[in-house]
Amino acid sequence: MSNTIKLYSISELLEMNFYIPAYQRGYRWTEQQVKDLLSDIYSFALKDKSKKEFYCLQPIVVKEHNWERKNDEGIIKQIFGWEVVDGQQRLTTLKIILSYFIKSHLSGKPFKERYGKDIFTIDYETREDSKKFLNNITVGNDENIDFYHISQAYTTIGKWLKNKVEQEKIMLDDICDSILRTLVYNQKNQKSEGVVQVIWYELNESSNPNSSPIKTFIRINGGKISLTNSELIKALFLQERNFGEVNDLSRLRQLEIASDWDRIENMLQDDDFWWFLNKEENKIPARIEFVFDIIKSVAIKNDPEVLDRIKMTPAEIESRKKSNPTIEEVIGTDRYATFRYFSPKFEKQVDLETIKREWKIIKDYFQTFEEWYNNPIWYHYVGFLIYCGEEIVDIYNLHQKNNVTKKDITKAFKDKIKSRFDKLKWKENEETKEAKTDIKTYYLDLYFSDSNKPKIRELLLLYNLEHIVKQSINKTLIYKFPFKAFKEVINDKGNKISWDVEHIDSTKSNELTDKDSQITWLQTSKDDVEEIQKDEQLCARIDDFTKNKNSKESFEDINNEIIRIAGEVNDENTKEIKNNIGNLTLLDASTNRSYGNALFPTKRKIIIKKDMKGTFIPICTKNLFLKYFDLKGTLKSKWSIDDIKNYRTDITTTLVEFLPKKY
């Protein structure tokens, strides 16, 4: 049999027998943890909630177990119950809370007489005294460490109740009744306070050797790793009771789901696929959980109740909640909300067709993601939207809404991208303006500034992506933009790599103030600019400054002469165009830091070296440094005003479908 998973109300745990094995430590919950649990249960009991809403504790991991129990008369009795692999601390705290209420609130009256069931029992493999103390707690007992922590928890409950009475002026009996009702009633006979439930995860060793109690305990407790949504959902799908009579068909269905599961997980473990779908790294142990999260989020987003309430007043919303809760209100928003979205589908016995149908939904979602990834156009458009912060839930809905033909889907993606640039403005070229001709030409009125950088970054990224898309359509280039390399990731040295908007030809004069930096800049410029090498007088001045400690040469004078020769004059006449989109590109921070305000040929040389070493350089950034926009073919070492104009024209021509009209 496979592992089993259910949602149990605390009332369903009453009268159960639990066994704490020797490999587990004793009770260690702090005062704050006890108060937090009481506060959460009490707040839930008082809140205005829907009929289906419940408060859920974290999983309790158990395994069937039989053991012997000796009573006070020494009579041994065989006990059937559950070995607690994880969740001992929560179970013990619940027992302490119930024990406190029996003594203080029920005045010692038997719990079963009041509520029809006894409290669950807890036996210990090696701590028999702890069992006896837990059944008859005395305050202030510190005979051993277990007694101390149990006694402290018991005292904390009394303090917490006293503070509630004093601070909120509520009768003690009312507070106790509210908490007790959430713990002793189930969903069938619940009171207005609602019910507390727990995720019940039942191990079966025969189905998986790695699920043995000790191994599971070490994984969960030793490594501080909680059960994940994916593990819980996997148990929902593969638990034996779903498949009825064991036969070839049921075994085949289980095998198909397990095989599909592994394939999906392996595909998501491919970083190229993962970073295409995600803007940031996600530390979830099993990446298939990402698919489950999306399914849940789409359901919440498309819930008619959620959509209706957008137009409702707060009072109307509260009134509506009671009779028509939204999906999110039912499943909650904590770490296990995704599991609780799926669990109701398996509350009753399901047949093979139901399992097949539910699993097909998961496969269909994943196959949509695969289709995006394998379609060279959709890959780049979806990847762009995700990078820009668009929710994958909205992209999925957009795909489904327009899922008639591939052309319809492509158009929907394009329209979504276009909407991100609908506020861009155009400016008429000075040349056509002065010529006063009927033919007018325009360029994007988009300039470098801190406020514009995010939009410029998006525009330049789309420019690179559309360049690839057009080539893939023409089948001249089969190439995918590597989103993994472009998004913030950690390189082999443990450093973050981030991409930003940088000037191609610097708009600043060189502001180097220390002599060493000045020497490095002059020597680099001398090596990289051919015209300087031909000017013997200038070379002699550079050598004098860099080699002679007593040189009277002025760095500023030499610097200005080099900039003039290199054609990188920065004055009022060039300031505007050098701040425009035609002089901007995407570069990673490390590359940019490596050249600072260097001359264009120096930057070009660095880019080429990095490209030869395999460093990722966006295709259009590489093209401009390779001088693709020098139509004359004569200025390999300069980034001229003509280059800027040609480059910005290519940007607008490439992106014409995504930009607003020019008039």
More confident residue, 424 or 214: 424
Percent of the chain with pLDDT over 70: 84
pLDDT at 103: 87
Q: Which residues contact 622 (CB under 8 A, 6 or more apart)?
A: 607, 611
Handedness of CA 104, 107, 112, 113 (dihedral sign): negative
pLDDT at 306: 59
Handedness of CA 425, 429, 430, 434 (dihedral sign): negative
Average pLDDT over every residue of 323-335: 78
pLDDT at 291 over 90: yes
More confident residue, 216 or 27: 27
What's the CA gap between 485 and 470, in Å, rounded?
21
The pLDDT tens digits of the residues spanning 517-541 come to 777 777 777 776 667 777 788 888 8
Give pTM, 2 decimals. 0.76
Contact 502, 587 (CB under 8 A): yes
pLDDT at 321: 62
The pLDDT tens digits of the residues spanning 624-660 come to 888 887 776 656 667 888 888 889 999 999 999 999 9
**Token code pair at residue 204:** 């079966």
pLDDT at 223: 46
Which of 153-157, 316-320, 442-446, 469-473 is most confident? Answer: 153-157
What's the CA gap between 512 and 551, in Å, rounded?
17
The pLDDT tens digits of the residues spanning 582-597 come to 999 998 776 665 555 6
pLDDT at 437: 67
What's the CA gap between 382 and 390, in Å, rounded?
9
β-strands 4-9, 196-202: how paired?
Answer: antiparallel
| Confidence class for position 492, pLDDT limits 50, 70, 90 | low
Question: For 171-180, 464-473, 522-531, which range has the lowest pLDDT when averaged over its residues?
Answer: 522-531
Bridge partners, residue 77, by sequence: 69
Contact 341, 299 (CB under 8 A): yes
| Confidence class for position 570, pLDDT limits 50, 70, 90 | low
The pLDDT tens digits of the residues spanning 335-354 come to 888 988 888 888 777 788 88
Average pLDDT over every residue of 67-77: 84
What's the CA gap between 151 and 140, in Å, rounded?
6
DSSP string, 2-63: --EEEEEEHHHHTT-EEEE-TTS------HHHHHHHHHHHHHHHHS---TT--EEEEEEEEE
SS3 79: strand
The pLDDT tens digits of the residues spanning 208-265 come to 545 556 555 555 454 444 678 888 888 888 876 666 666 677 778 888 888 899 999 9
| Confidence class for position 562, pLDDT limits 50, 70, 90 | confident
pLDDT at 141: 82
Residue 487 zone, left/alpha/beta (φ > 0; ψ -120 to 50; rest): beta
pLDDT at 568: 66
Please provide residue 110's backbone torsions phi and psi, each rounded to the nearest 5 degrees. -55, 135
More confident residue, 556 or 360: 360
Query: Please, what is the average pLDDT of the chain?
Result: 84
Contact 236, 350 (CB under 8 A): no
What's the CA gap between 172 and 42, in Å, rounded?
12
What's the CA gap between 193 and 182, in Å, rounded?
6
